[in-house]
Structure 1
Amino acid sequence: MKATWEKIEKNLGVLEVEVDADRVSAALDKAFNKVVKKASVPGFRKGKVPRPIFEARYGVESLYQDAIDILLPEVYSEAVEQTDIFPVDRPEVDVEQFAKGQTFKFKAQVTVKPEVTLGDYKGIEVAAENVEVSEEEVGQELERLQQRHAELVVIEEETAKSGDTVVIDFDGSVEGVPFEGGKSERYSLELGSNSFIPGFEDQVVGMATGDFKDVTVTFPEGYQAEDLAGKEAVFKVKVHEIKRKQLPELDDEFAKDVSEFDTLDEYKADLNKQLADRKAKENEATRETYLVDKIGEAAEVEIPNAMVESEVQNMVRDFDNRLRTQGMNLDMFLGFSGQTIQDLQDQMHGDAQKRVRNNLVLEQIAKEENIEVSEDELMEELNTMAEAYKRTPEEIQQILAANGSLGSLREEVQLRKTIKFLLDNSKEVPADQLAPVEEVQEEAKEEAEEK
């Protein structure tokens, strides 16, 4: 097989391939064995028609498309490997020659991974690490714990306010006609949770136990039930109960209830340490994000739209997986939020483009700096995954190899090593002296225009 690659634009080129006639003949044999099972010729059972009889009746040309479908994927993959290109989208294939006794010639227009011209990536200024924890931050954490361990107490005399939980009956209608899902009895609703149609909860605020009220709202234009979208609805609401959070006292007893410590002071000291550890991890993530974004914006790269769209699909799939861990799924989320899948993809487009850019830049830096992943490092990652999933490293490796993800894991470890390399070669400065990434982006744009 002969294969040549010629670039016609930055990320676009033509792959020309010629395959030996012997392989064409073998593909025709496979095609015949496939179609003869369904071929109907008088005097012969299906699957038993001799090849010469079949070709005399239907013509050898009837096998060409099936033979191409069999041969093209394997020779395309071989040509890609032979020419050392990295396609990022489906090729546009033009078959120039395919016939019995002849070579198979085709051209494929292929979008490939773009070239990256790096800007400066060593000595980049990042914020100096700061893990100091203030008394205010400890106090805020204690307040969150109070809220988490608060009891709901029935309020008899006061009216409902934001943050209260009200037990209500509601019966909704549009133009006097009830609609599905618009009625419930003794429903517990936390005011301010924004779990109902916009405007509903605000109008319940101020109601007292035993009150009746007509609540008028308008369904969002993108509401999941199309027959209700954009329409005005009236809900007849009755308040049965109002419940308000009663916070526990911040004392030694509280510390004993929520922790392993006997005194509040001991617990506060431990909280201080936990918050410092958390802040250190958050700071590290922030520093890494800033560093990668800044280096990414300083690089020159034209990103094929196919790579961005592929990343958007990955992000949607990851989002769906996260929703499922919370007992939801993507369809439910879209219904509740009144969005379409296109709305969600449009929101993710900018982040997807940044991810693709940054990953391309990090890959190029890894190449420039010869940053590779050893077998020991890969095994360490497999051990970590095995511990998390309660499996053996060998099982994890087999699972990843079976679904083709072992290479992706190696790439992920390489990216993390590259980011660590960049952080180790950065320069720490006070946070207030850092230039926003947007300024870096503008400077890179101006330099590109000057060129």
Structure 2
Amino acid sequence: MKSAVETLNPTRVRLTVEVPFEELKDSLDAAYKKINQQVTVKGFRKGKIPARVIDQRFGRGAVLEEAVNDALPKFYTDAVNEGELNVLGQPEVDITELKDGELLAFTAEVDIRPVIEIPDYSGIEVTVDSIEVSDEDVDKSVEQLRDRFASTNPVERAAAEGDVVTIDLEAKADGEVLPDGVATGVQYTIGSGELLDGIDEAVTGLEAGGEATFTSELKGGAAEGKAAEVTVKVTQVAARELPELDDEFAQMASEFDTLDELKADSRKRLESSKQYDQATQAQERVLDELLKLAEVPIPEKLLAEEINTRKHNLEHHQLGQMGLDLAKYLEIQGKTEEEFDAETKEQAEKGIKTQFILDELVNKEKLNVNQEELTEHLMRRAQSSGMSPDQFAQAVVEGGQVPMLVGEVARGKALAVVVEAAKVTDTNGEIVDLDDEDDDEAAETVEAADSTEAVEADTKAEDKAEEKADKNEA
């Protein structure tokens, strides 16, 4: 076999392959054997039809077609390996010559990973938010905890904002009560915005036994999106009472004995959270600067597939779980379809560039992923998917997603190398030391830029788990 590689552009090549006919012998034998099992000829036992009879009865062309289809993948793979190509996706194959007994010639056009020159990233400088926790931040955190321990007591007065009212609801559309438009004994906190638009105004000022009618667009049910006439009746008004902020509250709401200890712990937690956010911000900004420095051509076909995959994942997985369609999502986001398409393309381009350049950096720095790193990453991914580590691991293995997870960790380690070499300062001008940050956090940043693989891995893992659960039930 002879092959040659022609570079069409930085991300696409054409392979020209010539195969001597004798190299088709195994595939020709396999073709005759396959046809033998599929056809019957009077006078011959099934599977024992001579090759010359098959040629006469069914045509030599049918045998050659079967043999070529069988042999092409091997010859294509051999040509790819000979050319040391890193191919992407499926090739477009064209048979240019097929001379029985003499020669098979074909061309294959395919996208390849571009050759990327890793830029000098030692001069990257970024600025991130400083870690500042104010007394107000601590007070807000403690107040949120206090709010969770609030109690409610019935009162004999008109309902006001912050009160918890028990209500009965009846929704009508076109004068008819909707099949799913009646609810009783619903508890609602006035001002929370958790029910229908207009309900806060309707119930505010009502006492137990009071009733009001208002018009609102239904957010769910059979008449979702329609304007309905809603009658609300208040059956109870209860005031929320917050516990006193003292040592007794600290003992009730935490493991601490005093309020001062509780506040100190809240400050520590807020600082830790802001430190994590700062590290993530540094990684994101360093990655953006790295992408600006590198020339990364993108295969058009790969970009189109990436855009379609992102749209599919959003519509059929993320939005589906929230009970939304794309139109409703765009309405909530205040975006046009054109704006959404432009953003999706931009995100897809960034994701591909991120993967290409970090993979190249993995190879250049000879970065490896050990079992402990992979296990830690897998456990974090399992937690985010809502599955147990064992379930997620088994589903990942069965779905063939292990290489994908290894790639995520490796790219995270590559990004960590770049971050370590960069100069990171906060808004106060202080140098930020990120040496203690986990490589797995960098992997999260990589996932955020290249979310398609992450969503696909989680989706396939969940699908595998569901399939297994269905089989067990059966």
TM-score when scaled to structure 2? 0.71
Instruction: Quote the Cα distance in structure 2 between the aligned partners of 1:318 and 1:94.
Output: 33
Contact kept, 8 Å, 1:153 with 1:244, in 2: the verdict is yes
Q: 1:333 aligns with which of 307, 323, 345?
A: 323
Mapping of 1:249-328 within 5 angstroms?
A: 249-312=244-307
Contact kept, 8 Å, 2:377 with 2:409, in 1: the verdict is no
Over 3 Å counting, the alpha-carbon distance change for 1:253 and 1:304 in structure 2 is farther
Task: State the Cα deviation string for residues 14-54 of structure 1 (Å, max 9, x = none).
Answer: 12223343443322333444444332444556655444333
Shift of 1:422: 1.8
Contact kept, 8 Å, 1:162 with 1:205, in 2: the verdict is no
Contact kept, 8 Å, 1:312 with 1:345, in 2: the verdict is no
- The match for 2:62 is 62
Instruction: Quote the Cα distance in structure 1 between the aligned partners of 2:104 and 2:190.
Output: 70
- The match for 1:206 is 204
Shift of 1:339: 4.4
Q: Can you give the 5+ residue segments of structure 1 that lack an aligned partner in the other structure?
A: 324-328, 435-451
- The match for 1:380 is 372
TM-score when scaled to structure 1? 0.75
Contact kept, 8 Å, 1:3 with 1:17, in 2: the verdict is yes
SS at match of 1:8: strand
Identical-residue share of aligned pairs (%): 27
**CA RMSD after TM alignment:** 4.1
Which stretch of the first structure deviates more once superposed, 342-351 or 141-150?
342-351
- The match for 1:217 is 216
**Aligned letter for 1:206?**
T
Shift of 1:99: 5.8
Shift of 1:356: 2.0
Instruction: Quote the Cα distance in structure 1 between the aligned partners of 2:401 and 2:346.
Output: 26
**Aligned letter for 2:62?**
S
**Aligned letter for 1:38?**
Q
Instruction: Quote the Cα distance in structure 1 between the aligned partners of 2:209 and 2:379.
Output: 55
Shift of 1:5: 1.9
Instruction: Quote the Cα distance in structure 2 between the aligned partners of 1:245 and 1:19.
Output: 83
**Aligned letter for 2:348?**
A
Over 3 Å counting, the alpha-carbon distance change for 1:333 and 1:391 in structure 2 is closer
Shift of 1:283: 0.8
2:398 maps to 1:408: no
SS at match of 1:238: strand
Mapping of 1:52-201 within 5 angstroms?
A: 52-98=52-98, 100-116=100-116, 121-127=121-127, 130-154=130-154, 156-159=156-159, 161=161, 164=164, 167-173=167-173, 175-176=174-175, 181-188=180-187, 199=197, 201=199
- The match for 1:427 is 423
Instruction: Quote the Cα distance in structure 1 between the aligned partners of 2:188 and 2:103.
Output: 72
Task: State the Cα deviation string for residues 357-387 of structure 1 (Å, max 9, x = none).
Answer: 23333334445xx31224xx52331353577
- The match for 1:234 is 229
Task: State the Cα deviation string for residues 201-256 of structure 1 (Å, max 9, x = none).
Answer: 45545363434444323479xx997xx67654333443444556443332222222
SS at match of 1:334: coil
- How many residues are aligned here? 415
SS at match of 2:17: strand
Mapping of 1:4-15 within 5 angstroms?
A: 4-15=4-15
